Amino acid sequence: MVLNRPVPFKPQAEASADAAGELPRPQGAGLPVPSADLATRDFKRILLIKLSAVGDVVQTIPLLNALRRRYPDARLDWLVTPAIAELLAQHPAISSLIEFPREQWSAPFSTLLRPALFLAAARLIAKLRAAEYDLVLDLQGQLRTAVLAFATGAPVRIGFDRPRAALWNASPRKIPAEAKRHAWQGAREGSFLAYTDHIVLPTLDLHPVERYLRAAQMLGIEGGAADFSFPIPPEAATRIDALLDYYNLAKAKLLVIAPGSNWDTKQWRSDAFAEVARHFLQKKFGVILIGSQGERALCEQVAALAPGAIDLAGETTLPELAALLRRANLCVSNDSGPMHMAAALERPVIGIFGPTDPVWAGPYRRADAVLRAEVPCAPCYLRQLSRCPHGHVCMKDVAPRAVIERAEQILAAQSARPKAPLPQPGRR
C-alpha cells in the first residue's frame, strides 16, 4: 500500500528550544565525520526507513517532524511494516507510506528465490528506485534495510556507524558483559557499508530519540525539545468513547495496563499485574487491559485474577490504542510499545524494567517512571528465559507494592498540578 498525500505539515505543537532538550555535540577522536555540506543542501525527495516495532516507530516521530519543518516542500516517504502503517496513515508530515512485507524478507534465502517472493522483492526495489530519492535515512540498521537503502540509488544515505568499542568506554557506568554482547551498539550485519554518511555518537548512553535526532543535527536542524506530535483519527477516538460508555467508564479515572512484551525476559508476573489492578479497582478506577492478538491469553490470566478489569486485548487498532492511552490517568507496563506511546502522549506512565536498560530504552526523559530491581546481572539483553542463569530475579524482585506506591505518588503529583484554564467563549 502506498498512501499519497502531499499535505503541508502543520505540527500540533511547535518544539520549543530549551537547554534541557538540546543534544550534546559530537566528539571523540577516530569517529567518522559526516559531509560538511549536508546542513545546507535542500533535499527534495526523502525516504525514512524504520520498519517496526511500535515503540521504535513512536520514538522516530520527533525526527519525522523535524525533517518536515526543515524541508516543508519535500516528498517525505516512510518505509514501514503493514502492522505499524495504520498508526502513521494520517500523519500530515508523511507524503507516502510504503509497506515493507516483513514476512517475505524474513524468509530463508532459499525461500526468497521462489518466483513469487523474488518478484515481490524486485517490485519493492523498483518502486524505491523509481522514486529517485536524494536522501535516505535508514534507522533500522539491518542488512535488509541497508540493501534497500543502497538500491534506491540515493546520493546521500545516512545510517549508524559500525559498532565501536570506544563508545562503551565513553560511558561512566559499569555495563554488564552480557549487555555489551547483546545490546544495540551500532549498525548490524554490516549495514554500515551501505551508507555514505554515518550518524556520529559520542557515547552509547543515549536514548533512541536522541540517537535518531543526531541525523537531524547532521542536516542542520537545531536541537530542541523532541516533538512527538501525531494525529489520532476522530473515528478512533469515537470508538474508544463508545467502549468506555458501554463499560460505564466514561467519567471514571482510568488505569491502563499493558502486561505483554515481545521478549520473555521483559515479562512481569501476571499475578503481580493483577495485584496492581485489584488495588485500583478498589479505589473505583476503571482498569483496562490492552495487548495484541498474541497477548490475549496473558491478558485473560490477569483479568481472571482481577475481577472487574476490562480485557480489550486484540480489540483495538493502533490508533484506537493511542486514543485510549490519551484518556488514561496512568499506564503501567513492561518495557513495551504502549509504554512509549503513553509517554509520547504525555500521559503518566510506569515502566517495569529488568533485562533492558532504562537509559537506552526507558520512557523518554521520565526517570521517575522507571521501576527496576537493582541486581548486578541487569541489564543483560537476553530475550529467552531459558538463557537466564539467575532465575529471572530482575523482574521477580520488583514487588507489586512498589509499583502501587509509585503509582500513587505519580497520581498525587498529577492531581496537585494547576488545572489548565477553560477556553474562553469564541476561542479554541
Contact 86, 116 (CB under 8 A): no
Give the separation between CA 318 and CA 320, rounded to whole angstroms.
Answer: 5
DSSP 252-283: S-EEEEE---SSGGGPPPHHHHHHHHHHHHHT
Query: Looking at the predicted structure, is the pLDDT value of residue 104 above 70?
Result: no
Instruction: Identify whether residues 345 and 411 lie together within a single domain.
Output: yes
Please check whether residue 79 is in contact with residue 48, taking contact to mean a CB–CB distance below 8 angstroms: yes
Q: What is the pLDDT of residue 33?
A: 55
What is residue 13's DSSP assignment?
S
Q: Are 136 and 158 in contact (CB under 8 A)?
A: yes
DSSP states along 49-93: E----HHHHHHHHHHHHHHHHH-TTSEEEEEE-HHHHHHHTT-TT
pLDDT tens for each residue of 237-282: 999 999 999 999 999 999 999 999 999 999 999 999 999 999 999 9
Q: Is 86 left (phi over 0), alpha (psi -120 to 50) or beta?
A: alpha
Task: Say yes or no: 253 and 277 in one domain.
Answer: yes
Strands 286-289 and 349-353: unpaired
Q: How far is CA 267 from the centre of its chain?
A: 18
- Domain extent, residue 120, equals 19-218
Whether 69 and 142 share a structural domain: yes
Q: Does some domain include residue 94?
A: yes
- Sequence-distant (≥ 6) Cβ neighbours of residue 211 within 8 angstroms: 160, 199, 201
* C-alpha–C-alpha distance, residues 152 and 79, integer Å: 12
Burial of 382: CB neighbours in 10 Å, binned 0-12, 13-18, 19+: buried
Cell 530542541 locates to 224
At 101 the pLDDT is 82
Same-domain check for residues 180 and 207: yes
CA dist 88 and 340 (Å) reads 15
191 in the same domain as 68: yes
- Same domain (yes/no): 182, 137: yes
Does one domain contain both 171 and 262? no
Q: Which three cell numbers stand for residue 424?
A: 474562553
Domains held by the chain: number: 2
Asked if residue 38 lies in contact with residue 203, where contact means CB atoms within 8 angstroms, the answer is no
Could you tell me which residues come within 8 angstroms of residue 47 by beta carbon, excluding any fewer than 6 positions away? 77, 78, 79, 98, 128, 131, 133, 135, 136, 137, 149, 152, 154
206 vs 23, higher pLDDT: 206
Q: Are strands 156-160 and 135-138 parallel, antiparallel or unpaired?
A: parallel
Mark whether 157 and 281 lie in a shared domain: no
Alpha carbon 422 to its chain's center = 32
Is 7 inside a domain boundary?
A: no
Spatial separation of the C-alpha atoms in residues 211 and 131, rounded to whole Å: 27
**Same domain for 241 and 387?**
yes
pLDDT tens, position by position, 30-87: 455 567 789 999 999 999 999 999 999 999 999 999 999 999 999 999 999 999 999 9
Give the percent of the chain with pLDDT over 70.
Answer: 86
- Asked, for residue 424, whether it belongs to a domain, the answer is no
How many beta carbons lie within 10 A of that of residue 310, not counting itself? 19
Residue 334 and residue 365 in one domain? yes
Q: Are residues 331 and 211 in the same domain?
A: no
| Predicted confidence (pLDDT) per residue in 127-153, tens digit | 999 999 999 999 999 999 999 999 999
pLDDT of 282-297, one tens digit each?
999 999 999 999 999 9
CATH number at residue 302: 3.40.50.2000
